[in-house]
Structure 1
Amino acid sequence: MIDVAFRKYSIGRWSIDCTRMTISSEQETVQLSAKVFELLKLFILSDDHIVSKDDAIDKIWLGNVGVGKTGFPNAVWHLRKVFTDLGAENDEVFVTIQKVGYQLVLKPEGIKEEVDIPWVSKKISPLKLSAIIISLLIAIIIYIPYMSSPPTALQPKVIKHITNFEGVEKQPAISPDGQFLALHWRQSSRKGQIYLINLLNENAPIRKLTESNFDEYAPVWSPDGKSIAYARLNGEGICEIRTFQLISREDKLIDSGCYFNNDDKVIDWSSSGKLLAYNKVVGDSTAIFTYEFSSENIKQITTPEANYEDLSVSFIYNDKKLAVIRKHAVSSELLTIADYQSDKPVVELIKTNDLALLGFVWDKLNEKLILTQAMGGNYAIVALDLNDKSEVILDKTPTPGSLTINPKTDELVFTRYSTSEYIEEVSMETGRTTRRIASSSRDLYGSHVAFDDSILFSSNRSGSWELWLRQKFISKQITKDIGSVLIATVSPSGNKFVVIMKTEEYPEGRFYLGTLPNVTFKPIANIDVQIQNPNWSLDEDRFYFSGSENGKWGLYEYNLTANEMKQLTDSGEVFAVEGANNVIYTSRFNQRGIWAFNKTTQQFTKVEDNLLINDYGNYFWVDNNFYYLYRDDTNDQVKRLNIDGEDEVVYELPVNSIRSYSALSPTIDSKVLVSRHAINDADLYSFSLK
């Protein structure tokens, strides 16, 4: 063991406790493994805080080269990751020194813990000392009833690191007896599948649940612990709800047509064991269904409007109600549903969030819903009392995901992502990045401004979506204290833009016309339908958008000169890009592909089959060429489709690097802005709910 001079140190804005082997920020504490913490102490003690591989192997792995040569870089990676999870930027704490090793660049400061109580050193008789102590106790007892209760404060928690595999581990589910952890694990470019970890035997091997080669998600245990329900994306891209019997290994298809995205709680198993609840695509929406095991009866529970998606579901209050997260664009609603098996279920709106409600889990012991949500520019894990709507912040953590509870230890287990967000400009001829806006723990979507080559981008940095303008090296927020926005679309010339903004006066959202470079906003009149996803015409006289009247979505155009709206289609169109010869390229809600709509003949032609549902806005037209985003198991590719219907790859990234929805914006000189994210890793962590 490496001995250090102090029990506690400060490194930058973090504190180190050598007794507890922890690193703490203001909000939380992470406990390290013994070897990783020994390496941190070696950094503290070494000259210039530089550690080489040979030093580490000699002092930590006691000369065992075979173990130390892989253990050292892994431990450095783990230290970097913990500091990043606690808010550090890249290279803020550690840097690599070529052919030498690594350096801790922030100077560690030892914290003295001397306590000076002068009166103790004086000679006081035992009788007098007893009188002083009794007097103090009486004063405290008398004073306590008059003390006011302080506001509930967020206390730093000891965060345990449960998994640390290569790749992404998420969607945890713990068996009723607390012995097994089921999770989704995706390694590098491989498909993500479900694995089982024995929590009571650390030497037991990790087991793969099924023998399939498909993507599998969202495991949930049966109440008796003998089966797991999960979602599978089959070879045709269809989402299936399945159950897997652990003893007999029977793998049974329950239903198909579900919809999965990131950390949605797609499935839940009732505490009685009689029902499954899950989501399923129905036309232009996604609804919640139940499956009854005894009768094999399938019943639709919710009926959301078109383009609304009921994605996450949980049984609550011993199956008496369902909790559901409903999403539309970038807003979310939390609902509860009573009498859900009757013909007239009772739906109650609990809360809304303009940014995101992410994972959630029902805390049976305390009868509260624990969920992750955006809060004050960060994400927080909160406990929500559904009766009085009160919330208690359990932890503020960057980039959280899905949740579960260990029923035996009363610990909350959650996913934490290590992500970086970028808007980068890339040459489609060379693949070279020419500029970048980078961030961590926030989402970014960018549009090019042609007249001065700046970037207008949407960001959720403050906890709600806002517009920012990036000119040269300076970014300024342009919608502060005005309202929450969705993704903006900039005109081809770059001197104006259209954005949907939610304000106190228009909470459902309204189109605003903005001007650049002197930013002004003007509401757009004479639009009396639900709206989403605006995009400009090539001549800038009008813009197209997806609209709905009486629940039927289609394509509309708005003439800015005449201030008139006109409906063009009613086939569930969700996004539009104008091309040549009076043709508009459209995508449709909950359908893969791209259609060419001829405004003259009013006819549709499907031109591309591979655009994914969540990539509905990831295509564009520029210089008489059509480009779109194609994804496979290993890559994200921007492809150019020529007049003969043949395509070629012009830009390529690793799989899931480019954001969904509308992440591509053409610039100049055959370049494109790409809104992207790099999910480098996701691990499972836990903290006690006691």
Structure 2
Amino acid sequence: MGKSFRLGQYQIEPVERAVYLDDGEKQNLQPKFVDVLLYLVAEYPRIVSRQELIDKVWQGNEYVGEKALTNAIWHLRQSLSHTDSSEVIETIRKTGYRLVVVPEPLFREDAVPASSSRLQSFNSTKFRWLALVTLVIAMAILWFSLSASQPNPRQISPVTTDPGLELFPAPSPDGRFLVYKWVAPDGQVDLFRRDLEQPQLKATRLTYDSASEGHSVWSVDGRFLYFSRKDRDVERCDIVRMDMHSFEETNITHCPLVGGYHYIDISPDNTTLAYYSDDEEAELSGIYLLDISKENATPQRFSCATDCGYKERDMAFSPDGHFLATTRRVNQFNENIYLYDLRSKQVRQLTSGEEDIVGLSWHPEGSKLTYGVQRADTRSGYILDINSNRTQSLDIEGMSYPHFARNKPWIFFQHRSEEYQIAAIPLNTPVNNSPFPVLNSGYNHNYPDYSHRNKKIAYLSNESGHYEVWIADADGNNRNQLTHLGRSVRYPKWSHDGKRIAFLAPDDDEAGDNIYIVDVATKRIQTVPSPFKGHNRPMWSADDARILTTVFTQDHADIYAFSLEAEGVQRLTFNNGRYGVMTDQNTLIYSTYRNGLWQLNLSTGELQQLLDEQQFRVRYTWTLENDAVYYIEEESDHQRLLRYDLNAKAHETLLKTPRSTFETDSALRLDRDQQRILFTKTEFPQSDIKLLIDPSL
């Protein structure tokens, strides 16, 4: 249905994908939201099941449709609830949804949006009809003239629809084949190749191992595929060349075991491989160049190696080979794109104010870049003209890692959305229970922290477009936004007296980050003085007089203490400390980077290992209460919530859950008032590869 209609006081324009109010206010809708609404309208007054909507709107893809339908219904209700509290869409428990307002089709003279109602203010009926006929004729002439010269509208087509994660699309130069990384729901990781000219055929599996393959790139002639392979079982990472005719593999150089993304690209003359790596002499990882036209060539570091203040991660050669676009990451809040002129050695910054760049690729004609960004866990794609620095949104929600085919202006991209909600697991039941939601909406909520003093939850929400600090009652009600910084923050942590919350945020010049404290009563924010540029999750001392946090320097990363009353800094750990809890004024229990759990007596300096690296492999998803450590253990196909009694020195499994239930980079907190564990809940994400063909590109 493309015709206009009304739902009570709302006028729906499907072609515009918009809702109009009688006062002229307009609200745009996403295409899938419109599809859901149109289907409910077409089936009015019948109750439509969730499964039927998933089948019709998402072609039966339950992995995407389940969450996307809930999100669509929520947004439709928000758009259709401006003036009163009456519902337009009713939820029928355990059944589905139905419209409760009669849809009324609009005739041509009624279908003018409310914002254009002044066109109908003519006093003379005859003149009104004459003007309308003239307008219709003029619009028809204009439409036919434009349609004769305009190309067909853009098309977005699914390429992969398997359950799990299809990641990092790498099209062959002619656009016929697509290689991608697939992470199956059971955790298996391999590379696959799909023949786009024969879509009825199943994808060909390229790798058969227990290692983890990463980004890949085709040689310019389409003969070879280059990719990274990281195998933690043998502590080895290699850049591999695969012959795409015989599938024979050759290891050509090494890559770092640390890090989750191993970016790679090849020069247009087919002689230079650029890839993400590190070496002993460099302070940070960066981009290396390898001459693959010569045997036994030595990789050359391209990126700055010492005293840089940033690290470069992703890269893309321009089609003429004169430029290399790279991403520079200053810290977890700041990453932008830079352009290197490989002839003049000059560097130019192309983007600013971005938090996370998720993929970049050159248009075949060489004057434009496409790239993805992630802002507060929302992904989107852009086109950047490198001559004018003008940026245009591709208007595709969930878009990341866009990649042009080398010889065709087609963009293959990764379509992925991530949802985080605050959930809880009860501990005082004889039978294991499933997590239940505490804070759940159409926005992302994560990093919960619980105050026993005032019985409130501090957490992050991206409702404002950035992650800001919010608080709510223990049941999730009475939500209140505390910070309005206009930039994403991290890691809220209550003081013991429940009056203040510490958190991490970028500094004003985006050159580093700071520890901040917000007063809950007044919402006033203060900065914790620090001589360092890089920090991590804040912790409070037992008396709330100091803030503890990991500090990142060029030489080490360890836990420091910062006084709030007077400027004073003290290094507390010397074995890669990451996160801790002070049980009293002299005792710090803390996790390390791949070195287990430790207890430190701050008075005597006595150090004791409580759990070794085989028993305790987490850095952040743990908490300590009443001489017991609660933490998450990550296995290949599941997660376990464990309790370790420090006195009895005994483990107890509290819950076994599907993989990716617990967000392992987030927080784990015990609410002893209600005897439950608060955590950030995720679903095993769904990511599909799609193809964008846009004549305007």
Query: Which category describes the TM-score, using the shorter chain as reference length?
Result: 0.7 to 0.9
- How far 1:483 moved relative to its partner? 6.0
Aligned counterparts of 1:90 and 1:611: Cα–Cα separation in 2: 44
Tell whether the 8 Å contact from 1:166 to 1:187 is kept in structure 2 after alignment: yes
Task: After superposing the two structures, state which structure 1 stretch, 69-78 or 600-609, moved more.
Answer: 69-78
Please give the TM-score of this superposition, normalised by the length of structure 2: 0.76
Aligned counterparts of 1:53 and 1:505: Cα–Cα separation in 2: 48
Matched, 1:390 2:394: no
1:301 — aligned with what? Answer: 302
Aligned counterparts of 2:461 and 2:405: Cα–Cα separation in 1: 35
Per-residue Cα deviation, 1:301-333 (whole angstroms, up to 9, x for no partner)? 323769965432322353434333233553132
- How far 1:176 moved relative to its partner? 0.7
CA RMSD of aligned residues (A): 4.6
The one-letter amino acid paired with 1:630 is E
Aligned counterparts of 2:413 and 2:6: Cα–Cα separation in 1: 27
- How far 1:663 moved relative to its partner? 2.3
Tell whether the 8 Å contact from 1:424 to 1:437 is kept in structure 2 after alignment: yes
The equivalences for 1:513-592 within 5 A come to 513-525=517-529, 527=531, 530-548=534-552, 552-579=556-583, 582-588=586-592, 591=594
2:247 — aligned with what? Answer: 249
Please give the TM-score of this superposition, normalised by the length of structure 1: 0.77
The one-letter amino acid paired with 1:222 is S
The sequence identity of aligned pairs, in percent, is: 19
Report the CA distance shift for 1:234/1:438 in structure 2 as closer, same or farther (over 3 A): same
Please list every run of 5 or more consecutive structure 2 residues that lacks an aligned counterpart in the other structure. 17-26, 78-87, 113-124, 146-151
The equivalences for 1:197-596 within 5 A come to 197-236=194-233, 238-253=236-251, 254-261=253-260, 264=261, 266-280=263-277, 285-293=284-292, 294-296=294-296, 297-302=298-303, 303=305, 310-316=312-318, 318-327=320-329, 329-336=331-338, 338=340, 348-353=348-353, 355-374=355-374, 379-397=379-397, 399-407=398-406, 409-430=408-429, 431=433, 433=435, 435-440=437-442, 442=444, 444-471=446-473, 472-481=476-485, 484-502=488-506, 504=508, 508-525=512-529, 527=531, 530-548=534-552, 552-579=556-583, 582-588=586-592, 591=594, 593-596=596-599
Tell whether the 8 Å contact from 1:374 to 1:463 is kept in structure 2 after alignment: no
Q: Give SS of 1:666's match.
A: strand
Matched, 1:191 2:196: no
The one-letter amino acid paired with 2:630 is Y
The one-letter amino acid paired with 1:417 is R
Per-residue Cα deviation, 1:124-155 (whole angstroms, up to 9, x for no partner)? xxxxx9xx99xx99xx9xxxxxxxxxxxxxx9
- How far 1:551 moved relative to its partner? 5.1
The one-letter amino acid paired with 1:385 is D
Task: After superposing the two structures, state which structure 1 stretch, 98-107 or 412-421, moved more.
Answer: 98-107
Report the CA distance shift for 1:542/1:307 in structure 2 as closer, same or farther (over 3 A): farther
Per-residue Cα deviation, 1:80-134 (whole angstroms, up to 9, x for no partner)? 4696598553996999968978757786554545799989999xxxxxx9xx99x
- Aligned pair count reads 631
Report the CA distance shift for 1:31/1:233 in structure 2 as closer, same or farther (over 3 A): farther
Per-residue Cα deviation, 1:425-466 (whole angstroms, up to 9, x for no partner)? 322454454651124464632221222221111233333332
- How far 1:26 moved relative to its partner? 3.6
Task: After superposing the two structures, state which structure 1 stretch, 41-50 or 170-179, moved more.
Answer: 41-50
Per-residue Cα deviation, 1:556-599 (whole angstroms, up to 9, x for no partner)? 1123345421123455444333357955344456x465455454
Aligned counterparts of 1:280 and 1:542: Cα–Cα separation in 2: 38
Matched, 1:89 2:74: yes
1:616 — aligned with what? Answer: 619
Q: Give SS of 1:89's match.
A: helix
Report the CA distance shift for 1:634/1:346 in structure 2 as closer, same or farther (over 3 A): farther
Aligned counterparts of 1:413 and 1:105: Cα–Cα separation in 2: 41
Between Structure 1 and Structure 2, the one with more strand by share is: 1
Report the CA distance shift for 1:187/1:567 in structure 2 as closer, same or farther (over 3 A): closer
Please list every run of 5 or more consecutive structure 1 residues that lacks an aligned counterpart in the other structure. 19-24, 61-68, 123-128, 141-154
Task: After superposing the two structures, state which structure 1 stretch, 288-297 or 504-513, moved more.
Answer: 504-513
Tell whether the 8 Å contact from 1:241 to 1:258 is kept in structure 2 after alignment: no
- How far 1:491 moved relative to its partner? 2.0
Aligned counterparts of 1:620 and 1:189: Cα–Cα separation in 2: 27
Aligned counterparts of 1:16 and 1:79: Cα–Cα separation in 2: 23
Report the CA distance shift for 1:190/1:685 in structure 2 as closer, same or farther (over 3 A): same
Tell whether the 8 Å contact from 1:258 to 1:280 is kept in structure 2 after alignment: no
The one-letter amino acid paired with 1:360 is L
The one-letter amino acid paired with 2:275 is Y
Aligned counterparts of 1:91 and 1:592: Cα–Cα separation in 2: 49
Tell whether the 8 Å contact from 1:265 to 1:313 is kept in structure 2 after alignment: no
Q: Give SS of 2:45's match.
A: helix
- How far 1:386 moved relative to its partner? 3.7
Tell whether the 8 Å contact from 2:631 to 2:643 is kept in structure 1 after alignment: yes
Tell whether the 8 Å contact from 1:169 to 1:184 is kept in structure 2 after alignment: yes
Task: After superposing the two structures, state which structure 1 stretch, 323-332 or 40-49, moved more.
Answer: 40-49
Per-residue Cα deviation, 1:515-545 (whole angstroms, up to 9, x for no partner)? 3344332333364564332212234332211
Aligned counterparts of 1:257 and 1:13: Cα–Cα separation in 2: 57
Matched, 1:636 2:639: yes
Aligned counterparts of 1:100 and 1:456: Cα–Cα separation in 2: 35
